[in-house]
Chains A and B, each alone.
Chain A
Amino acid sequence: MKKLAFATLIFFVSFSSSYAADSPQKLAFLFAVPQSSCPDEYECGNGQAAFETFLLVIDGDQMKVAVRTPHLYFPRKSGFWEVGILPPKISDGQQNGGTNSPSWDDWKLWAAPVGQKPALTPAHEKTEKAETSEEGKETEQTGGVRYFTISLVGSDYLSFTDYFESYAGDLSYVTAPMILPIDDVAKQAYSEFSSIQPWTPPLSPEQYQSDLERCASAEVEEPGYSREALETGSQGWRIIRGRMRWDFEWSLNHATGAARGYNAVCTTSLRPPRSLIGADSVKLAWNQILPRVPDVQTAFSSPDGSVLLVFTKSQILAFRPAEGTLSKPFARLNYDPHRILMSQWAVGKYADNWAQILSQAKSWTELSPSVRADSQH
């Protein structure tokens, strides 16, 4: 593990080093997606193998998949980490995820260095709470639906959404997007609202009013988009991959009351800061990319701008932009489109380092059945 941490640290330190002008440096692009053929990531592989991480290595005019692993691995200053979702334990006669089982809402979002067992909040704390409160009892009796979806994993923050529908009492439909510090998730897995303080952007009253105005005047006829509904909704923030960059998604939702279930998703004038998403910008004008690749879904520029990766519905195309324009792709790979959840670049010898480290990485979920069983609440 020390070796792994050291190699990644070197990458971060040398990231801004200069590049040889004549021969293109070897590059590696690491990205993660929900697992193939998995429309709702929580549904696949019992949440443990719900993601896939790919490492593309670009060497000269060649691009290949050097690593493909059914885990969400990502680099941090301390080395490679893994993030995952742990669904409720399946027990006899109970379904996973949306049922009347006593632990139907016992989902956990965890993060830990690769190979290390994550800290997981013991489930009994919540069970005790449920048993001692009238509301909890009712929730337990009537069940509900809950699941998590991840939309971004950066080096220090991740963004995800907690969907929670309780059939108990007055019913509640919570769509809670949030941005959490990974260190906090590592200390205690996220399992309940407010168990970890989410990060929120500083939104000035003027920006709030202007963005709200825009959202209310958008051509959406759903009741959640009325000015009144927007003004009274709870704000939530998440980060999703847009066409050119990681973007904020601002939502205003109603969990309870007559408007429960209304969830408006609005565009915002705010951009996620670099502390959340790292260095991320497509170094080419979109009107140079779109006419060339009209089915582009999203694109990523290498740190030096020498390579542009264009993700389409079926392929990943690698271009070498020249003077702000694109010619033919120099390499391509077949690819099933998915939402990108994480993206990182490595340059030069670190491209090989990453390939080596990740090809040998073992998730804690694969280490020993007893470790996993122990963690299943």
Chain B
Amino acid sequence: MWSPRQTTLIGLFIFFVAAPTSIAQSTPPSAPKPAAAASDAVRACVEQLDFSSCERAEKLRLPPKEKAEVLIYKYSAGPLCSSEVPLDKAIKLDPQNALAYFLKAEAILCTGDRYAAIPFYIKAIELNPEWKPYYVDVGLLMNLGCPACDSIVLKTWQLALEFAPDDPRVLAGYGNALLAQKKTSEAQAMFRKALERNPSDAVAAFGLCQIYLGSPSLGSYLPFCETAIPGISDSELGSLAYQLEQKKDYSLAETAYRRAITISTRDSRKSNRLNLAAVFLYENKAKEAAKIYRDYLATNPGDAGTWMDPYANALEQSGEIKKAEEEYLSAIDLHYECGTLSGLGGFYSRQKRYGEAAQTFEKALQENWDCHYVIPQLREVFAKLGQNHDKELAAYVNKLIAAARPGPEVQNSDRYYRFANFLNELGRFEDAALAYRKAAGLDTNEVPPLGGLGEAFFALGRYKEAVAAYEEAEHRQSGYLDAAPELKKHYLESLAALKGKKP
């Protein structure tokens, strides 16, 4: 059983303050032996779960243990997840009643507080050793997350395996506990054992799928993920599909999202459908994607500002150009902002309607100068329009900068930082450096402005100043450059340049 240290840990749970009852001394629950006068009511209560009889029996003068039994069966006769009050009374009357603790744990679980339920299950199992197979259920609860269980979860699974070796959940459950403790190879072995026993064990297959998705060198995730998909939960499917999407395994991601949609609740079904649409776009199934967006927008008109643009994009990809343009325009009507305007601008650009594209991008920047990701697109469009438009672009950019420049009354680091980024995007590095320095000075806790300053000087080839800025950033926040590999690279190149080596 538990080692002394583990018993101490379990003691953290409420009821382990009392000395644990040894197995030999424990009293398994037994049918009550009521007084003759009360026997009918008690029997109808405990045998037939007749609620009225339970109520009658509760009012009788019975020995404490028998009264406790009546209360327990009265609780059992009521609806699932009823109030725990009769169980608390039963525990008070008979503190060694295993059933009372077990049902109390179940009642707590109904409230969603699985962490609080665990010690009651353990107490019940300790009082009634016949219930040791329920260590599987306790282990599964611990697997769901229980901070104080880390040190006892594996011991619990050992007991589960010992007392419920045939339980179909035990091997995969144990495997998941091992995986959570980063004992990957042991987890892998446990999952494989589970799959040997039951080749369609979705939980075990999902375990291996997760391991191999994270470490492709260990094996192929494909057969395990495929086995897992029909049997795992909606949230697990969502997470798996996302991982598969990152792996660019769009076909399996599609399968996972499709399965998730069939079993998910309304809210998660919405997001699963939208995610499936995104996968369809990767798979060049733009028509299917467009259908999802269309259905979604029909039932969620309030979200049109967000999803009209992807819908238009899907229509465009599926060749419905006219309809796509209409939808891009509708998106702008609903949400006149940089995102939707740049969507339409991009559409015009792809349709080689550069004049309209330039106008739309300009509108996007007028709407929000901070929308700097539009600038490269605008520059590209002007390039397509030809040399004559250089001056036009320069004039427009100057106008934008004037509009974006913070007024003298603005003394806000973030505002200067955003302005500096904007200038950086435009290639105005000198001005950007000044703005970064101002931002760094306005808030001496802020680090990114110094990183930006380093980048601006690096772009200008002013390596000494770049090194100084990067080092000042590192001084403000140790480890900053390690967390920003691109900046670190430029820092090292700047140092090299100072030593006479070309970056």
A-side residues, CB < 8 A to B, are 35-39, 43-45, 90-96, 214, 219, 242-244, 265, 267, 269, 285-288, 290-292, 294-295, 297, 313-314, 332, 334
Contact = CB atoms under 8 A, between A and B. Distances in A.
B503 interface: no
B111 to A, nearest CB: 15
A290 B75 CA distance: 12
Contact of A294 (B80, B83, B131, B234): B131
Most B CB atoms within 10 A — which of A292, A295, A332?
A: A295
A90 B234 CA distance: 24
A290 to B, nearest CB: 6
Interface in B85-106: 85, 98-99, 102-103, 106
B263 A37 contact: yes
B135 to A, nearest CB: 13
A37 B233 CA distance: 8
A267 to B, nearest CB: 5
Nearest to A91: B298
Contacts of B29: 291
11 contacts: A95-B299, A214-B52, A267-B51, A269-B52, A286-B47, A286-B48, A286-B73, A287-B73, A294-B102, A295-B134, A297-B80
Contacts of B73: 286-287, 290
B47 A291 contact: no
A356 B119 CA distance: 47
B298 A43 contact: no
Given A37-B264, A219-B85, A295-B106, 5 more contacts: A242-B49, A244-B48, A287-B69, A291-B28, A294-B99
B288 to A, nearest CB: 17
Contacts of A244: 48-49
Given A36-B263, A294-B99, A294-B103, A90 B299 contact: yes
Given A37-B265, A94-B298, A334-B169, A214 B47 contact: no
Contacts of A334: 168-169
A90 B298 contact: yes
B49 A286 contact: yes
Interface residues of B, number: 46
B3 interface: no
A94 B299 contact: yes
B55 interface: yes
Contacts of B32: 287
B46 interface: yes
Interface string B294-317: 010011110000000000000000
Contacts of A219: 83, 85
B388 interface: no
Contact of B234 (A37, A291, A314): A37
B425 interface: no
A285 B48 contact: yes
B46 A45 contact: no
A214 B55 contact: yes
Ranked 4 nearest A-B pairs via Cβ:
A285-B47, A37-B263, A294-B102, A287-B46
Given A93-B301, A295-B102, A334-B169, A243 B77 contact: yes
Contacts of B51: 267
Contacts of B128: 291
A126 to B, nearest CB: 22
Contacts of B249: none
A155 to B, nearest CB: 24
B46 A286 contact: yes
A286 B75 CA distance: 13
A13 to B, nearest CB: 31
Contacts of B134: 294-295
A92 B298 CA distance: 4
Interface in B25-75: 28-32, 46-49, 51-52, 55, 69, 73
A45 B76 contact: no
Contacts of B168: 332, 334
A249 B474 CA distance: 69
A289 to B, nearest CB: 10
B271 to A, nearest CB: 15
Contacts of A288: 31
A239 to B, nearest CB: 13
B466 interface: no
Contacts of A290: 73, 76, 99
A373 to B, nearest CB: 16
A242 B103 CA distance: 16
A238 B322 CA distance: 55
A313 B107 CA distance: 13
B54 to A, nearest CB: 10
B389 to A, nearest CB: 42
Nearest to B300: A95
A225 to B, nearest CB: 13
B99 A291 contact: yes
Contacts of A287: 31-32, 46-47, 69, 73
A294 B124 contact: yes
Nearest to A269: B52
B231 to A, nearest CB: 9
B219 to A, nearest CB: 26
A284 B137 CA distance: 25
Contact of B76 (A43, A286, A332): A286
Contacts of A44: 265
B247 interface: no
Contacts of A242: 49, 77, 79
Nearest to B101: A294
Contact of B137 (A39, A96, A285, A295): A295
Contacts of B103: 294
B182 interface: no
Contacts of B246: none
B266 interface: yes
Interface in B167-185: 168-169
B55 A314 contact: no
A90 B301 CA distance: 13
Contacts of A91: 298
A38 B124 CA distance: 31
Contacts of A37: 233-234, 263-265
A45 B261 CA distance: 9
A247 B69 CA distance: 22
A96 B296 CA distance: 11
B387 interface: no
A95 B299 CA distance: 5
